[in-house]
Structure 1
């Protein structure tokens, strides 16, 4: 044996000579087991906390994704709202012109009616609908704007629409212009 090996063997014998074998074996595993259990409990609590944070973050992200997709869909559906609102007076003018030309039948009017029909089809294509508000129907403040009240000509017209001054319009079931009506009192 060389000198280093002899010194190591002497040190090992000295350490084992000072502590009885059964005490050394009992002390070390109990201390390690207690430490391991405490560390395991700590790691498990940290894991549970991290899982909770993950679930909360995931659900928050899912809510954000749903909300964003809903907003995009609404934006797409109502993207042309301002343009359509600007074109509604043109539709009113077409209707007034059509009423004034009703009695006259002429080849010159044919082009006008073709343009008006195409204009109505284009509005329909983009989801614009005329609000159904005729004389005798119920007044609904969510859809109609009462510009005046007059004494009802008949008892059955009290609280109902007597006349429609300006048509209302819906864009994808959203009111973009309220119908202006006269209500019987």
Structure 2
């Protein structure tokens, strides 16, 4: 009988141990489930972060592409306007010698110049309406290589004309604020 009691006690002692083991097992399951949930939330956060980064990169790429397109559109519109403004440049360059000939004929005395002056006036007005502007009043101004072409240098008639334009050999013209023909000038030294 003592053997039986000892067995029951052994079994009784084993049972609480087993219950504790079960509780520990449940705790382990809960811990592992919580760890799994934590890992899933970390994975979700990582995925969310990577998606937001990718979204931001795509937005940046879109904004850059859009601004490049806007710059291209503005640049081509500007180039078209410049082409329209200077489209008549070649024909005007060919007409300029005719204007020069008219001006030379006015300097010759004894010519009937009334008809020539009328034609010259009309031609000048038409060219001015197309944007052609003569470079006038250059004598006494400083030489500027962007607008003038120096033909020669002569001794300056006065001290204030040194390094400045003394005479204009051929008049210069501008078309829409761009030089069509440089003024050919003589500079005092």
Shorter-chain-normalised TM-score: which range? 0.7 to 0.9
1:77-96: CA deviation from partner (whole Å, max 9, x where unpaired): 11111111111111101111
Q: 2 CA distance for matches of 1:70 and 1:161?
A: 35
Contact 1:128-1:169 at 8 Å conserved across structures: yes
Shift of 1:27: 6.5
Shift of 1:35: 3.2
The one of 79, 83, 88 equivalent to 1:80 is 88
**Secondary structure of the equivalent of 2:156?**
coil
Q: Identify the residue that residue 8 of structure 2 maps to in structure 1.
A: none
Shift of 1:110: 3.5
The one of 8, 32, 36 equivalent to 2:44 is 36
Q: Identify the residue that residue 6 of structure 1 maps to in structure 2.
A: none
1:20-72: CA deviation from partner (whole Å, max 9, x where unpaired): 7x749757644543332222122111111111111111121122122112211
**Secondary structure of the equivalent of 1:65?**
helix
Contact 1:145-1:181 at 8 Å conserved across structures: yes
Report 1:1-185 matches (<5 A): 23=30, 26=34, 29-100=37-108, 103-104=110-111, 106=112, 109-185=113-189
Name which of structure 1's ranges 135-144 and 25-34 shifts more when overlaid on structure 2.
25-34
Distance 1:28 1:99, change over 3 A: same
Q: 1 CA distance for matches of 2:125 and 2:103?
A: 14
CA RMSD of aligned residues (A): 2.4
What are structure 2's unaligned runs of at least 5 residues? 1-24
Count how many residue pairs are aligned between Structure 1 and Structure 2: 163
